[in-house]
Structure 1
Amino acid sequence: MEKVFIPVILGTNREGRNSENVAKWLMEQLENYPEIETVLFDARDFDLPKSDYGQSIKGEFFAWTQATERADGFILIVPEYNHGYPGILKSMLDMLFPEFHHKVAGLVGLSIGPWGGVRALENLVPVLREFKMMVSSPDLVFPRVQDVVSEDGKIQDDSYDKKLEKFLTDLVWWAKTLREGRVTG
């Protein structure tokens, strides 16, 4: 079986974040998919400078740069804050550019409200397109996330097993297809 390398990006560094609970659940679930190799990149671990952003600082984040170059795709865990996505996620993406080209992004949205982060995801898609990325479908969304995923990463709704399977099936297909395209040119 040909594996794909799909890092997971936990895209917020806020205290009390529900995204961390979703990340715990997702990382545990990914262990059941032997065709996927993954690693978690947590925005909280990125000590970004206050005044220097973009590609000039990527050398300071070697593991992130190396994983992004090697990746076949990404899973972005994106909380919605005031109809948008976190600024630190944008800063993480902005330090790299060609490393993202022709790779797939699977979007995981969440919010404490009824929409599951879809407004943040809608704002993020044009940015990902500018990075020449493909966005897979369907998104995986967690409305009222605090009622769905516990602090220890346990899911309270069995329907997410099927949702995750659909999400990963499309993501893996695109990851393999785009990798072939990058290889053959």
Structure 2
Amino acid sequence: MGERAAKWVVAQLEKRGHEAVLVDAAELKLPLLDRMWKEVKNDTSAKHEKLREKLAPLAKLYARADGFCVVSAEYNHSIPPGMTNLLDYFLEEYFFRPSAIVCYSATPYGGVRAAMQLRALLPEVGMPTIPSLQPIPSVGSSLSEEGVALTQELAEKSGKFFDEFDWYMRAMKAERAKGVLS
């Protein structure tokens, strides 16, 4: 179901002229975090070679990103462990970039319990969250396999969420261009 939600988000962002790159924590198969990217990027030991190969492209991608739209399922009323692990590998790459939370579940609650956990985590790693959330309740009947909205509510009422995210990305990009706070 996550693929449906991710495809839908990518399409919504691309409609607004953004380059939307999907980063899937499950596909990356990262080991449990024991050292952050900033600690392994200059470590030339063979021990971290594979990890550097996986993380270096992400670090470059993140550094040029204007924002992060986090698409999350709900796992045990919280964030899926693989997502938390992926998020924790980076820090500076997230600074002064907004995050938007799209959450989903098979239930009518749409993953909002995970979203509340993400609201606490994302600002701690440097990505303040925009005020709005975009839950996708009953994701199996809300989105097609191709990521097309199947409900009128999702098709029509998500525009404000993506407009708000776009505004925050533009505003924070303009401020980053002025220089980082000291």
TM-score normalised to structure 2 length: 0.84
Q: Which consecutive unaligned segments of at least 5 residues does structure 2 have?
A: 42-51
Structure having the higher strand fraction is 1
Instruction: Report SS of the residue matched to 2:117.
Output: helix
Match of 1:170 in 2: 164
Q: Does the Cα contact within 8 Å between 1:78 and 1:109 map onto a contact in 2?
A: yes
* Separation of aligned partners in 1, 2:26 and 2:79: 15
Q: Which runs of 4+ in 1 moved over 4 A?
A: none
Matched, 1:21 2:4: yes
* Cα-to-partner distance string for 1:44-93 (whole Å, 9 max, x where unaligned): 22121246343335633222111111111011101001110111111111
Instruction: Map 1:18-167 to 2 at 5 A.
Output: 18-34=1-17, 36-50=18-32, 52-55=34-37, 56-57=39-40, 59-60=52-53, 61-167=55-161
> Are the equivalent residues in 1 in contact too, given 2:149–2:155 (CA < 8 A)?
no
Structure 1 counterpart of 2:31, which letter? P
Deviation of the 1:161 alpha carbon: 2.8
* TM-score (ref. length: structure 1): 0.82
Amino acid at match of 1:121: A
- Separation in structure 1 between the aligned mates of residue 32 and residue 124 of structure 2, nearest angstrom: 24
- Quick one: distance in 2 between partners of 1:172 and 1:113? 28
- 1:130 and 1:110 map into 2 onto residues whose CA distance is 22
> Is the contact between residue 122 and residue 128 of structure 2 (CA under 8 Å) also seen in structure 1?
yes
Task: Provide the aligned C-alpha RMSD in A.
Answer: 1.7
2:71 maps to a residue whose letter is I
Number of aligned residue pairs: give it. 167
Which amino acid is the alignment partner of residue 107 of structure 2? G
Q: CA–CA distance in 2 between the matches of 1:37 and 1:164?
A: 19
Larger radius of gyration: 2
Q: Which amino acid aligns with 1:42?
A: D
Give me the identity figure in percent: 32
Q: Which residue of 2 aligns with 1:182?
A: 176
Residue 15 of structure 1 corresponds to none
* C-alpha contact (below 8 Å) 1:137/1:171 kept by paired residues: no
